[in-house]
Structure formats: structure tokens, C-alpha cells
Chains A and B, each alone.
Chain A
Amino acid sequence: MIRKLLETVRFQFVWVVLLLAGAAYGNTAIDTAAQPQVQSHEKAQTEKAFDAGKMIIEHISDAHEWHILEYNGFQLSIPLPVILLDNGKLVSFSSGNFHHGHEAYRGYRLMMEGEYEGKIVKVLEDGETIDASAKLPLDFSITKNVLSLFISVLLLCVIFISIGNKYKKNPNTAPKGLQSVLEPIILFVRDDIAIPGLGKKNYARFMPFLLTVFWFIFLNNLMGLIPIFPGGANLSGNISITLVLALFTFAITTFNGNKNYWTHIINAPGVPWWLKIPIPLMPIVEIVGLITKPFVLMVRLFANMTAGHIILLGFMSLIFIFGNMNIVAGYGVSVFSIAFGVFMSMLELLVAFIQAYVFALLSSIYFGMAMEEHHSPEEHTTEH
């Protein structure tokens, strides 16, 4: 089963790399095509050229404001609080003061392009030039993703605590309402994720983590598919989020590793001695494997969710790219774009579930591996 999973992972990797490459290529191509129009930017503000690459990247990246819509130069967005840790000093103000990156505020400026794109930097008195001598302030702002994170965490708590209370209040009754919708998935996590990976003896201890991780990813994947506030943030496709999730899995695996697990890493039985001494080749491979596991978890979730968003946004961009060339072409293409967009959204619904499943399943398998009991050497050799 693990081999099969690894194969699908490899396949996903190729898929994502191709997509990312395609997006990057599209980005540069459109950039060069739009060059002349950018120069006349100030003259015709309303006739801004449509930059698909930029639009897509903006949509899948984090931001200091929650952009909802833009119409004829009017921007509707929710300004979010900026919290900076600058040389040990806590600075906080509303991101509305940056005026979408057009103005500096209290010596800080939100960069919209260049090396520090999307970051808050210190600027000199003139409010334009970056203060090269100052260190970059640590940005703990409540960004779009952080707010989305809070919303989803709140939602998780509200949903599952209310369901938990139902179990407490009426024990031994058939599930009702939301409870009956979520219970099969909770049972799925238990019976098809936790028990196969961990075994009947150990699974109960890891259920809280597996359930939390599963529902956290699943809920955020779904919220990411909703195009408007409070959805639309690409939270589960953000590398920081997947990094923390993978770190949790890594930490739990490491803390639960038994003697057998560490022996296999440091001094694997059934391996010729010359692979360990004088160059500890096998231990190095094992330790690299230790790190690759959570790394792969991190990249898979990030890449899958981001790729899905990119494809969807790409289809939508097609309408505007063609619309810029010819208004009729834009309307014509919109039919196909929307058809493909609907198809992709359906696919993304499936992916939302599959990614949550895969993350939880692999976590449970890693925990199970860390707690596996000792095998006899013969068994070991036949296994590999």
C-alpha cells in the first residue's frame, strides 16, 4: 500500500512541477506582452492591462488586507491589523494606513513589487527608499491567512464541541443532524486511517491529533474553494501552514519512537557492516529519510492545494486575456472557462478530501512505524 501511495505522490510531483512551470512561463510571456501598456499606466489608470500571472500569484499568496473586489478603480477590501516586532519593539497599526502599498506609515512601507514583494520594510524619511541599514522587522501581522486561520479554528471548535456535547448529553442514541453527517467521516478516520496505520492497540492515543489534522486540512481546503470572504484564502496551500502541520507529525513521530525504531535508524539490523563503518552510510540515509517524510507531507499538501487554485484561476484568467484582445472572444471563451472551472472545482472537492486523508493516513503510518515492535531478522529481509 505504501508503495502505491509513493507512486501517486511522485505522479503528483510531476504534475505540480509542470503546472508551476506553465504558470511561470505564462507569467513572463504576459509580462513582456503587456510591457508597452505598463508604461502608459499613469495616463490610463482605468485601462490597466490584465496580468494573469500577477493576479494568480496575488490570489494564492498571503496579504495584509482582505481584498474582496475592485470595480473601476474602487477597491473593497478589509484592512487587517499589522503587528511588527522591530528590534524588540512591538509596533501595531491598521494596514489601511498603507493605502494598498501606495504610502508609507510610521517609517514602514508595504512593498508591492521587487525583492521584498508583499513584505513590510523600513523606509527612510522620504517614504520611498528602503532603509538598507535596518534589519527587516519581524512580521506577526494578522494577515489574510492568519484571519482565515482564526476563522477556521473557531469554526472547528464550534462545530465539534457542539457535537461532542451531543454525545455527552444523549449517549446511546442515533446521531442526529450535523452529528450524523460528520460521524461517518470521524469513523472513517478511525477505521481507515488510524487503525490500519497504528493497530488496534495503539490507535486511541493518536485519535485526537489525527482527527484534528484531518478536519483542519479538510475544512481549510473547502474554505479555500469558496471564492469570497470568509473563504478564498489559500490557507492549506500555504507553505507555512503545511510546515507546521508536518512539524507536528514529525515531533509526535520522534517522541513516540521506541527502541526498535531508533535501532533501525542508527544501527539497522540485517545490513552489512561495511555500510555502517567506517562511513555511516546507512545511518545517514535513515536520518535523511527521517526528514524527508515530514518534508514530503509539507510539500504535497502545499503543492496540491496551490496547484488547484492556480488551475482554477488560470481558467478564469483566460476570459480576461481573450477579453483584452477582443470583447467577443472574451465572452466566447467564458463559456469554456466556466465549464472547465466547474469541472476543476468538482475535482478540487475530491482533492480537498483526498489531501486531508493522505496527510492523516501518512501521519498515522509514520506513528505506526515509530512504534512498531521488534521483528526477527528473517522477516525483515523478506519484507524489503
Chain B
Amino acid sequence: MQLVTPGIGLIFWMLVSFSLVLFVLGKYAWKPIMKGIHQREDTIEKALEAANDAKKEMLKLKAGNEQLLRDAKDERDALLRDARKIKETILEEARIKATEESARIVAGARENIQFEKMAAINDLKNQVAAISIEIAEKLLGKELENRQQQQLLTEKLLKDVKIN
């Protein structure tokens, strides 16, 4: 019977001690423990999340890098293509220009030659005329005594001159 009869003394001490231990542990043990555990769980969760995000970010970055590389390659190719085209056009233009220039130069030269030729001819004509006059003077000096012959010679000379 003693076994199943609660005793006042033990109930009293138990009430006091248990209330005390509940208060003390609640304040100085369970609070920091639960807070610490919760905090750590939070931190771990956040760290995992951050790691996941970083992984995703890295994948994205990698994809971005690849895209960038591809773009750069494309651009380089385009640039090369353009450069080649430009080179070709420049060459073509240069060739055309050169041809034109040479044609122009040739034309100029020809004109010049023509001009020079005319000048030379004129000069020659003048010289011939001068020489002719000189000859004529000399002849005249000699032949002038003979009037008839003079006449004849003049006509003959004139005839010769007409050829040119």
C-alpha cells in the first residue's frame, strides 16, 4: 500500500525541484540550445541554397561564356569576310583606276605627241620656208639678171611649195 500512496514530502520536494529545473533549464539550456540548433539549420539551409544558386549561376555563366565565344568567333569571321571583300573591292577599284589612269596617260601622251608632231612639222615648215627663202634669195641673187628665168623659177618654186 505504501508503494501506491503518494507521500506529501516527496510531492512537495518534487514540485519545488521540478518547477525550478523547468525554469532554469528553460531559461539557460533549452532556449540557447533550440536557438542554436535552429540557427544552424537555417545557416545550413541557406548555405545549401546559396551553393545551388552558385551552381546554377556558374552554369549560366558557362553558357554565357560559350555564347560570348561563339559570338566573338562569328564576329571575327564576319570581320575577316568583310576585310576580304573590302580588299577585293579595293583591289578592283585600284585596278580600274589604274587602267583609267593609264588610258588617260596614254591619251595625254598621244595628244602630246600629236601636238609635238604638229609643232615639229610647223617648225620644219618654218625652217624649210626660211631655207627656201634663203635659197631663193641666193638664187634670186644669181638669177635675177635673167627675168624670164626668174619668172619660171618662181612658178616652179611655188609649185613645189604647194606639195607640202
| Interface residue ranges, A against B (CB under 8 Å) | 57, 60-62, 83, 117-118, 138-143, 145-146, 149-150, 153, 156-157, 160-161, 163-165, 167-168, 171-173, 183, 186-187, 190, 204, 207-209, 211-212, 216, 238-241, 243-245, 248, 302, 306
Contact = CB atoms under 8 A, between A and B. Distances in A.
B25 A156 contact: yes
Contacts of B22: 208-209, 212, 248
B30 A164 contact: yes
A217 to B, nearest CB: 11
A243 B8 CA distance: 11
B37 interface: yes
A146 B3 contact: no
Contacts of A57: 2-3
A288 B36 CA distance: 41
A160 B25 contact: yes
Interface of B: 2-15, 17-18, 20-22, 24-26, 28-37, 39-40, 43
Contact of A140 (B9, B25, B30, B35): B9
Given A171-B36, A212-B22, A306-B3, A161 B10 contact: no
Contacts of B29: 157, 160-161, 163-164
A172 to B, nearest CB: 5
Contact of A208 (B13, B18, B30): B30
25 contacts: A57-B3, A61-B2, A61-B3, A62-B10, A83-B9, A138-B8, A138-B9, A142-B13, A149-B10, A149-B14, A149-B17, A150-B13, A157-B24, A161-B29, A163-B33, A164-B30, A164-B31, A167-B35, A168-B36, A190-B37, A208-B26, A212-B30, A239-B4, A241-B14, A244-B11
B13 A140 contact: yes
Given A186-B33, A211-B30, A240 B21 contact: no
A94 B27 CA distance: 35
A83 B8 CA distance: 12
A121 B71 CA distance: 102
Given A146-B10, A168-B32, 9 more contacts: A118-B2, A146-B9, A157-B29, A167-B35, A167-B36, A207-B34, A209-B22, A211-B30, A239-B4
A161 B27 CA distance: 9
Kindly name the residue among A118, A143, A241 whose own CB sees the greatest number of chain B CB atoms within 10 A: A241
Question: Chain A interface mostly helix, strand, loop or mixed?
Answer: helix
Contacts of A240: 6-7, 10-11, 14
Contact of B9 (A139, A163, A164, A172): A139
Q: Name the 9 nearest CB pairs between A and B, nearest first.
A: A167-B36, A160-B29, A208-B26, A240-B10, A164-B29, A164-B32, A240-B6, A244-B14, A208-B30
B33 A167 contact: yes
Contacts of B7: 62, 139, 240
Contact of B8 (A60, A139, A149, A186): A139
A238 B9 CA distance: 12
A239 B5 contact: yes
A171 B40 contact: yes
B20 A153 contact: yes
A146 B13 contact: yes
Kindly name the residue among A60, A140, A156, A164 whose own CB sees the greatest number of chain B CB atoms within 10 A: A164
A296 to B, nearest CB: 15
A60 B3 CA distance: 8
A212 B21 contact: yes
B92 to A, nearest CB: 74
Kindly name the residue among B14, B15, B26 whose own CB sees the greatest number of chain A CB atoms within 10 A: B14
Kindly name the residue among B13, B20, B26, B40 whose own CB sees the greatest number of chain A CB atoms within 10 A: B13
Kindly name the residue among A187, A204, A239, A306 whose own CB sees the greatest number of chain B CB atoms within 10 A: A239
A143 B30 contact: no
Contacts of A204: 34
B4 A153 contact: no
Contacts of B32: 164-165, 167-168
Nearest to B40: A172
B129 to A, nearest CB: 123
Nearest to A245: B18
